[in-house]
Amino acid sequence: MARKPRIYLDGCPQHIIQRGNNRAACFYTDADYALYLNKLRKAAAVNDVSVHAYVLMTNHVHLLASGANEFAIPNMMQNLGLNFVRYINITYKRTGTLFEGRYKSSLLSTDRYFLTLSQYIELNPVRAGMVAAPGHYPWSSYRHNAMGIPIDLITEHDEYRNLGRTRASRVKEYRRLFPDFQAHETLDEIRACTNKGWAIGNDKFRAEIASMLKRKVNDIPHGGDRKSHTYKENQGT
């Protein structure tokens, strides 16, 4: 079966997930995490990608990023993968692939979902039970976005910058808005859309994206409630 082409639209950030092959570890020591971030920073700069949020987990990575064109993020991920896998294989005397086949990605609406997605990413270590609070985890963008500790890799998106006129005010407002947890419905929506490559946003956003790209960008329900009045009408019964 042919792979579905990735969805891209100018100005729309993407949520990206890359997992270890068979859910195995991608990082073994602090040096591995640090080197990945260094290579990510370089690959993003070379390919004109802005990284707005990230978290490096033991066996997977989440990124929130915007590319200058449709090839920017794919080229960044390819460059990053080749360099990091080579480092891991040489360092730990292993062979073969490190990451599962194809990274997953989805477009998202910026007006509501950008901050939600950024927070979803930075709350990963808390949901996984690795730390009690996101600020305790060293390998995420929370330190930049919510604690005011500069991270060179991060490019602040307009939705983040709109939180305040100064760096200090943005940090304060982001931290004030940061939830202790996110609703199951929100988590389910983000996970389903990212795993299937659909757009993350409300119905209006999805309809606009589908119209621009001339393709579907979200699930279309199959069948229906066969006992419903609407279903019977559509079937002519």
> Residue 183 and residue 200: Cα distance in Å, rounded?
16
Answer yes or no: are the C-beta atoms of 193 and 201 closer than 8 Å. no
Mean pLDDT of 53-73: 96
Q: Which pLDDT score, from 0 to 100, does residue 201 have?
A: 60
C-alpha to C-alpha distance for 17 and 170, rounded to whole angstroms: 26
**Mean pLDDT of all residues in 156-182:** 94
C-alpha distances out from residue 178 to 19, 101, 133, 210, Å? 26, 33, 11, 31
pLDDT at 231: 33
Least confident of 1-10, 44-53, 227-236: 227-236
Average pLDDT (90-114) is 85
Closest C-alpha among 67, 44, 52 to residue 160: 52
Apex CA 42: angle with CA 36 and CA 44, to 5°?
95
**pLDDT attached to residue 106:** 86
pLDDT given for residue 218 in this prediction? 54
* Overall average pLDDT of the 170-178 stretch: 95
Two structure tokens written together for 115 = 């901050």
**Confidence label for 102 from pLDDT (cuts 50, 70 and 90):** confident
pLDDT > 60? residue 236: no
Distance between CA atoms of 212 and 167, rounded to whole angstroms? Answer: 35
Residues near 54 by beta carbon (within 8 Å), at least 6 away in sequence: 37, 40, 61, 62, 63, 64, 121, 140, 141, 153
Question: pTM for the whole thing?
Answer: 0.83
- pLDDT for position 110: 65
In the predicted structure, residue 122 carries a pLDDT above the cut 60: yes
Task: Name the residue among 74, 72, 179, 209 with its Cα closest to residue 118.
Answer: 179
More confident residue, 110 or 51: 51
Q: Does domain 14-234 sit in CATH 3.30.70.1290? A: yes
Percent pLDDT > 90 in the chain is 62
Per-residue pLDDT tens digits for 186-230: 888 888 777 766 676 656 656 665 555 554 555 544 444 434 333
Asked if pLDDT for residue 148 goes beyond 60, the answer is: yes
